[in-house]
Structure 1
Amino acid sequence: MARIPKETIDQILHHADIVEVVGDFVSLKRKGQNMWACCPFHHEKSPSFSVAPAKGLYKCFGCGKAGGVIQFIMDIEGTSYVEALKYLAKKYGIEIQEEEKTPEQQLAQNEKDSQFIVSNWAKDHYHKLLLNTDEGQSIGLSYLRQRGLNQTTIQTFELGYSLDQWDDLLKAAQKEGFEAKYLEKTGLTIIREDEQGKDSGRRYDRFRGRVMFPIHNVSGRVIGFGARTLKANDKTAKYLNSPESEIYHKSDVLYGMYQARQAIRTEELCYLVEGYLDVLSLHQGGIKNVVASSGTSLTESQIRLISRYTDNVTVLYDGDAAGIRASLRGIDLILEGGLNVRVVLFPDGDDPDSYIRKVGDQRFKDYVDGNSQDFISFKTNLVAKEAAHDPVKKAEAIREVLQSIAKVPDPIKRQVFLQQTSGTFGIDEQVLITEYNKLVKNSSSKAVASPGQSGGGAASAGGQRTAAAPRPLSPDEEAEMAMYGATPDDLVAAGGGAQREEIEPLPDVLADCEREIVRLMVLYASQPVQPEVGVAHYLFSQLDDTTFRTPLYADMMHLCREELEQGRWPDVRTFVQHGRGDIRQLVSDLATDKYELSPNWTTHQIYVPRELDLLQQACDNAILRLKKEIVQRELSKLQEELRLAQDAAAVDKILEALMLYKRLDNELANHLGTVIPRGTL
């Protein structure tokens, strides 16, 4: 895979000012050494989002988001590490020359780039036709004006129009020098085949006489189109979408996400509608956190896309009962994805677009706020009404609701929903609980696929399917099932194994000690602890034979050693831009403090010792605590070996080692000042 050269990354990071970059998205105000603002990642009234210019870091003390300038772009734009680098390079006018690719990689990248380029050109072409041609203005623009859309909305979503001609786009593209194969790969043109199914050499435009809705990915690149015909009684489909291509996968895309993503983060809510015009009308009406599934069934990929920006989804339905029924499975998927789902149902004959145009922006918002209900209650009322006079349908409806309840991740909410469902259907709650327990057991059993069954097993070395390992129930699941009347056998069946005693995990003292060493290394590497000896060299000299057990901290120490060997000090600014997300997160957490000393303390001559003034002591304490924890673990291991030892020679050897480690432990405790004098217990 192609990589951006390190020299280019260094150049980007040298120019990228975190205050300037973050300031493009939020209004920062200085308080002390840092800059503060309300967090762009969650809704808050009091600023808890801090930017430390000296360290090149941001940190929200409300939601926990933290990192450097690259991580900020990744978080705010929902992009990858490489895309964030490209964003910053573009902002600062830095040209990226990616390292040489294999011929296959270069060809594949050229193919995708060419499709992006031709799609963007087509978007501009359709937009010009809408605004600058008689046909575009009289038909396309007139239709959009009829639907109440203003020029700002048309420009924001880059709407267009395709002329009612067979080859307008094809001719214009050829004139611009675009290759026919890219027009075909993106679905902009179609090849006409002869009777034998072979290429006849004739090509024509896919979209003709239609209003064009460009579809953007989250980075704002055009990847496809939706198109609406304006011909009355036309035999062709009312809406036509681009076909699947290398750059457009409809199951991964939500219309309007590029325009809505920042508002979704800010509002901590995503409104989900069905059509393009629903998105456009609501966005124009001030509801900018809205996206559309564009008439397709909701997919897991689309749900994951939403979850990158918020955990809360409100689905806006029109009053069509058949359409609602068809959408229920998609909302179950949202629940399964761990998102919170609410529903708003509009009066019969209205969809979000028509209703906001009928009642106006403010009354629409008031209606949505007043009629929003959680999905389980909505579904329960819906299916109960449909099955009111049919006992068989009623039983099926109850099971259908229980299946949705089982997908709700919060156990307290599940209990409340069971109580509500009991009241709605007029059925004893204990009966529902019993049925719920059966459903949980059956779902768990299906997850453990037996030999020959699909979906649940793992392939053995010989290629045969074997049963997957049972999934143990969590303590919450066990407690919940017990609360609902489950027997011990139920718990065994649901979990796929015997009951077990849950033990609260002990704090990982060793990991904490290793973390403290890493913190001192990263924050104070170049600071002197002795004449001409910096913290980094001092720590390595004292811990040269010590192996870190926690993988992340071991990796950090390795990276710090590499920096020193290259003649550079390990530095926060370096690691916070690292390619690994766990390293960026760790360094961000280590380097940020919520509070800083007021300058008034100095004014009033109140001296507060700083860690920087006590580095020798801090380093020595951290080293001693780490070594003491390692020794104590060795002592525990030897004591266990002594308990199991069978012959006298082995016992003598273990006792000798125990005495040695005990002396070491006492010496370390004495240095730390943790020795308890005799007679005090």
Structure 2
Amino acid sequence: MALISKETVDQIMHAADIAEVVGDYVTLKRKGQNLWAPCPFHNEKSPSFSVAPAKGIYKCFGCGKAGNSVNFIMDVEGISYVEALKYLAKKYGIEVAEEAPSPEKLQHQHERDSQFILSDFAKDFYQHNLHNHEQGQSIGLPYLKERGLSLNTIKKFELGYSLEAWDGLTKAAQEKGFQEKFLEKTGLTIFKEDGKKYDRFRARVMFPIHNISGRTIGFGARTLKTNDKSTPKYLNSPESEIYHKSDVLYGMFQAKQAIRMADVCYMTEGYLDVISLHQGGIENVVASSGTSLTENQVKLISRYTKNITVLYDGDAAGIKASLRGTDIILEAGLNVDVVIFPPGEDPDSYIRKVGDNAFREYIKNEAKDFISFKTELFVREAKDNPVKKAEAIREIVQSIAKIPDSIKRSVFLQRCSNLFGIDEQVLISEYNKIALQENKKQQNQQQPSSKPYSGSKSNFPPLDEFDLAAMEAEAEAAAYEEAETEVDSEIKLLQRYEREILRLLLNYSDQSLAEGQNLAQYLFEQLEDIEFKTPTYAKLMALITEKMQNGVTNLADYFIREETDPVLKTEAIDLLTQKYELSEAWETHQIFVPKEIDLLQYAADTSVLRLKWRNVQGMIKENQDELQKVTDTAEMMKLLQVAKALKTFEMEIAGALGIVVAR
């Protein structure tokens, strides 16, 4: 696949009106200069999703999604950057001019495209068999209809049938000119060393597996032979260049919009669970297809919702095995509920038995948060067995430890304490052991560590009740959080002042000030010796400086249209977006309020002084730390002179800002 030329990208970006693009998905209403709507990316009652037509950007002040027209299509459709550009090009009737990539990239893309095309051919071949071949009509279709599926549902999921022939697909594909290497790479044909070749899927109902943009990447296949014990019931495509089962969820292509609108994803195990629920009008459902849930699959769901409800079959042994994979969801910061169906039932059989309305009501009434469900399950299993009870408590605390949100952890520890009838502080101590072990592991890997948890009680138990390691954990946790409060406050203050400088630069860089300079020149001159401490802001400041030195005058336009770093782009758009606007009614009532652009000199001066003031305070603290360490008298005198100068400077800046500072 060729690359889209820069000229074409510019043409698309210029033509793609943000209000029109977003308006295809939500109803926008004008409020001030901007347009507002309920966010299409999460559920909300009052609109927090803002579109700024003049700047060509959108921003949700609820979930934080932000970007330009291309980003919006990428987010709402779940497609790649190139696919989003082509989508907009088609919408605005722009011919996509493409540039030839390198021979290596061209070859790689050709290999992938050939596998996609072959997979689509196989899907169509299996569909044709189901509806038109004698075997499909007499074996495949009756089975699917027996499972309660309508013809519309069968076609919606593009279900098919593989013939009971050794090389039915292989022959058909080769007759159409597909090469053997692609039949082998996609796993559709199995090649033996003796030269024999045959279809992987034979005499099976076929379930095409799609990627997020709807392309066929693999297949799941169910045998209808019940008398052959050597034949596996389900058979899946092997891993290939286009199909990685750990990255894919069955039904996600069909479910993504429904998941976003419902703000919850139902997770099932089988293909027919997904299809039957869709037929019942419950479309926000996907399946892991019998494999253990992976981190990439959870990330895929998190693009559309932060809430997952796992629908378990009424099989106790299966439930226990499946619980282990659910910790991945907790670790990702998502909310997990669990629903168990009656014994012998699964989502497919139960919705066919009770109907869609009763099914919805059942989920609503039976859903329990994962930690409470797991705790109740283990409480029942442990009963009065102290060994089992201790093991159960450790396993549940390990699950709670996966949750990144400290408030949720606290709530679940209390809940676990009540259900097991055990002192909450014991659970907190056990949690802190896990947290400290994780901290040491992360420190060894030179990664940021998570904080121990100090719990909801301030009184620690006597030493003889608990082991020493747990008490050390409690002491370290308390000291950590006490120190953290002041440090965090200082960091946040510095971040706020650095952010304000960047906001002014992005919004008003070319605006003239009282001294004849523009705002960017003035800020660069005033902050020549100031180094930004916040990593993202330091990168953003360096990039702004570089672009302005290279003659870029419209910074907003650059970040909206051209910047490729998603973190910097999102941060810049956030700085360019205003959450509040003055009501036009004020002027109607002859109430005139100065606008920021009319007070730029004051805004610039104040922002510079605040940042300098905060940096001087940081230098004073560093000086004090050095004074505590130094023993040499001459060095101490030097540091005291520096301390005096810094304090004087702090007083001068504070005076200019109207801040009272203790001498």
Is TM-score (shorter-chain normalized) higher than 0.5? yes
Q: How many angstroms apart in 2 are the aligned matches of 1:408 and 1:669?
A: 42
2:171 is equivalent to residue 171 of structure 1: yes
| Larger relative helix fraction | 2
Identify which of 453, 469, 478 aligns with 1:476.
453
Query: What's the counterpart of residue 190 of structure 2?
Result: 190
Q: Is the 8 A contact 1:519 1:590 kept in 2?
A: yes
Q: How many angstroms apart in 2 are the aligned matches of 1:139 and 1:18?
A: 51
2:582 is equivalent to residue 597 of structure 1: yes
Identify which of 490, 512, 529 aligns with 1:528.
512
CA 1:85–1:536 in 2, change beyond 3 Å: closer, same or farther?
farther
Per the TM alignment, residue 222 of structure 1 is displaced from its structure 2 partner at its CA by 1.7
Query: What's the counterpart of residue 284 of structure 1?
Result: 279
- Residue aligned with 1:30, SS: strand
**Structure 1 gaps, min length 5:** 423-427, 450-455, 459-466
Q: How many angstroms apart in 2 are the aligned matches of 1:475 and 1:498?
A: 5
2:573 is equivalent to residue 572 of structure 1: no
Cα offsets for 1:569-601 (capped at 9, x unmatched): 133232135222221222222222222222222
Cα offsets for 1:229-268 (capped at 9, x unmatched): 2344245222211111122122222111122122222222
CA 1:643–1:144 in 2, change beyond 3 Å: closer, same or farther?
closer
Letter of the 2:330 counterpart: L
2:538 is equivalent to residue 554 of structure 1: yes
- Residue aligned with 2:221, SS: strand
Per the TM alignment, residue 421 of structure 1 is displaced from its structure 2 partner at its CA by 2.7
CA 1:481–1:88 in 2, change beyond 3 Å: closer, same or farther?
farther
Per the TM alignment, residue 120 of structure 1 is displaced from its structure 2 partner at its CA by 2.2
CA 1:644–1:457 in 2, change beyond 3 Å: closer, same or farther?
closer
Q: Is the 8 A contact 2:70 2:84 kept in 1?
A: yes
Cα offsets for 1:71-107 (capped at 9, x unmatched): 334433445656655654565545364674463x444
Q: How many angstroms apart in 2 are the aligned matches of 1:45 and 1:444?
A: 38
Q: Is the 8 A contact 2:429 2:474 kept in 1?
A: no
Per the TM alignment, residue 41 of structure 1 is displaced from its structure 2 partner at its CA by 1.8
Letter of the 2:422 counterpart: E
Query: What's the counterpart of residue 425 of structure 1?
Result: none
Cα offsets for 1:314-355 (capped at 9, x unmatched): 221222333323323223443344433222222223211111
Q: How many angstroms apart in 1 are the aligned matches of 2:220 and 2:26?
A: 33
CA 1:605–1:280 in 2, change beyond 3 Å: closer, same or farther?
same
Q: How does 1:287-326 map to 2 (within 5 A)?
A: 287-326=282-321
Q: How many angstroms apart in 2 are the aligned matches of 1:664 and 1:398?
A: 57
Letter of the 2:283 counterpart: K
Per the TM alignment, residue 182 of structure 1 is displaced from its structure 2 partner at its CA by 0.7
Q: How many angstroms apart in 2 are the aligned matches of 1:419 and 1:642?
A: 48
Q: Is the 8 A contact 2:313 2:345 kept in 1?
A: yes
Q: Is the 8 A contact 2:161 2:206 kept in 1?
A: yes
Per the TM alignment, residue 280 of structure 1 is displaced from its structure 2 partner at its CA by 0.7
CA 1:397–1:476 in 2, change beyond 3 Å: closer, same or farther?
closer
CA 1:221–1:657 in 2, change beyond 3 Å: closer, same or farther?
same
Per the TM alignment, residue 66 of structure 1 is displaced from its structure 2 partner at its CA by 2.5
Per the TM alignment, residue 184 of structure 1 is displaced from its structure 2 partner at its CA by 1.0
- Residue aligned with 1:507, SS: helix
Q: How many angstroms apart in 2 are the aligned matches of 1:401 and 1:651?
A: 54
Per the TM alignment, residue 611 of structure 1 is displaced from its structure 2 partner at its CA by 0.7
CA RMSD of aligned residues (A): 3.8
Per the TM alignment, residue 393 of structure 1 is displaced from its structure 2 partner at its CA by 5.6
Query: What's the counterpart of residue 490 of structure 1?
Result: 469
Q: How does 1:64-83 map to 2 (within 5 A)?
A: 64-78=64-78
Q: Is the 8 A contact 1:81 1:579 kept in 2?
A: no
Letter of the 2:158 counterpart: E
Moved more, 66-75 or 608-617: 66-75
Q: Is the 8 A contact 2:371 2:412 kept in 1?
A: no
TM (normalized to structure 2)?
Answer: 0.86
CA 1:602–1:208 in 2, change beyond 3 Å: closer, same or farther?
same
Query: What's the counterpart of residue 21 of structure 2?
Result: 21
- Residue aligned with 1:214, SS: strand
Identify which of 346, 364, 367 aligns with 1:351.
346
Query: What's the counterpart of residue 33 of structure 2?
Result: 33
Q: How does 1:266-277 map to 2 (within 5 A)?
A: 266-277=261-272
Query: What's the counterpart of residue 59 of structure 1?
Result: 59
CA 1:172–1:569 in 2, change beyond 3 Å: closer, same or farther?
same
Moved more, 265-274 or 340-349: 340-349
Q: Is the 8 A contact 2:429 2:470 kept in 1?
A: no
Moved more, 32-41 or 130-139: 130-139
Q: Is the 8 A contact 1:18 1:57 kept in 2?
A: yes
2:189 is equivalent to residue 206 of structure 1: no
Q: Is the 8 A contact 1:563 1:570 kept in 2?
A: no
Q: How many angstroms apart in 1 are the aligned matches of 2:442 and 2:500?
A: 42
CA 1:233–1:10 in 2, change beyond 3 Å: closer, same or farther?
same
- Residue aligned with 1:47, SS: coil
Per the TM alignment, residue 636 of structure 1 is displaced from its structure 2 partner at its CA by 5.2
Query: What's the counterpart of residue 500 of structure 1?
Result: 479
Q: How does 1:361-510 map to 2 (within 5 A)?
A: 361-385=356-380, 400-401=395-396, 403-405=398-400, 407=402, 410-422=408-420, 428-430=421-423, 434=426, 436=427, 439-440=430-431, 443=434, 447=438, 474=451, 476-477=453-454, 489-491=468-470, 494=473, 500-501=479-480, 502-503=482-483, 504=485, 505=487, 506-508=489-491, 509-510=493-494
Q: Is the 8 A contact 2:372 2:416 kept in 1?
A: no
Per the TM alignment, residue 122 of structure 1 is displaced from its structure 2 partner at its CA by 1.9
Q: How many angstroms apart in 1 are the aligned matches of 2:45 and 2:439?
A: 47
CA 1:209–1:42 in 2, change beyond 3 Å: closer, same or farther?
same
Letter of the 2:453 counterpart: D
Q: Is the 8 A contact 1:131 1:141 kept in 2?
A: yes
Letter of the 1:500 counterpart: A
CA 1:540–1:300 in 2, change beyond 3 Å: closer, same or farther?
closer
Query: What's the counterpart of residue 464 of structure 1?
Result: none
TM (normalized to structure 1)?
Answer: 0.83
Moved more, 436-445 or 234-243: 436-445
Query: What's the counterpart of residue 95 of structure 1?
Result: 96
Per the TM alignment, residue 303 of structure 1 is displaced from its structure 2 partner at its CA by 2.8
Per the TM alignment, residue 187 of structure 1 is displaced from its structure 2 partner at its CA by 0.8
Q: Is the 8 A contact 1:418 1:433 kept in 2?
A: no
2:609 is equivalent to residue 621 of structure 1: no
Query: What's the counterpart of residue 496 of structure 2?
Result: 512
Cα offsets for 1:391-450 (capped at 9, x unmatched): 76666556555554555552333233323432xxxxx524x864x46754664576588x
Moved more, 289-298 or 388-397: 388-397
Q: How many angstroms apart in 2 are the aligned matches of 1:139 and 1:165?
A: 14
- Percent pairwise identity: 54
Q: How many angstroms apart in 2 are the aligned matches of 1:439 and 1:643?
A: 37
Letter of the 2:521 counterpart: H
Q: How many angstroms apart in 1 are the aligned matches of 2:514 and 2:448?
A: 54
Per the TM alignment, residue 294 of structure 1 is displaced from its structure 2 partner at its CA by 1.1
Identify which of 215, 218, 230 aligns with 2:209.
215
Moved more, 25-34 or 406-415: 406-415
Query: What's the counterpart of residue 453 of structure 1?
Result: none
Query: What's the counterpart of residue 581 of structure 1?
Result: 566
Per the TM alignment, residue 19 of structure 1 is displaced from its structure 2 partner at its CA by 2.0
Q: Is the 8 A contact 2:315 2:344 kept in 1?
A: yes
Query: What's the counterpart of residue 44 of structure 1?
Result: 44
Per the TM alignment, residue 282 of structure 1 is displaced from its structure 2 partner at its CA by 0.6
- Residue aligned with 1:161, SS: strand
Q: Is the 8 A contact 1:263 1:289 kept in 2?
A: yes
Per the TM alignment, residue 522 of structure 1 is displaced from its structure 2 partner at its CA by 0.5
CA 1:301–1:637 in 2, change beyond 3 Å: closer, same or farther?
closer
Q: How many angstroms apart in 2 are the aligned matches of 1:336 and 1:552?
A: 24
CA 1:37–1:153 in 2, change beyond 3 Å: closer, same or farther?
farther
CA 1:168–1:480 in 2, change beyond 3 Å: closer, same or farther?
farther
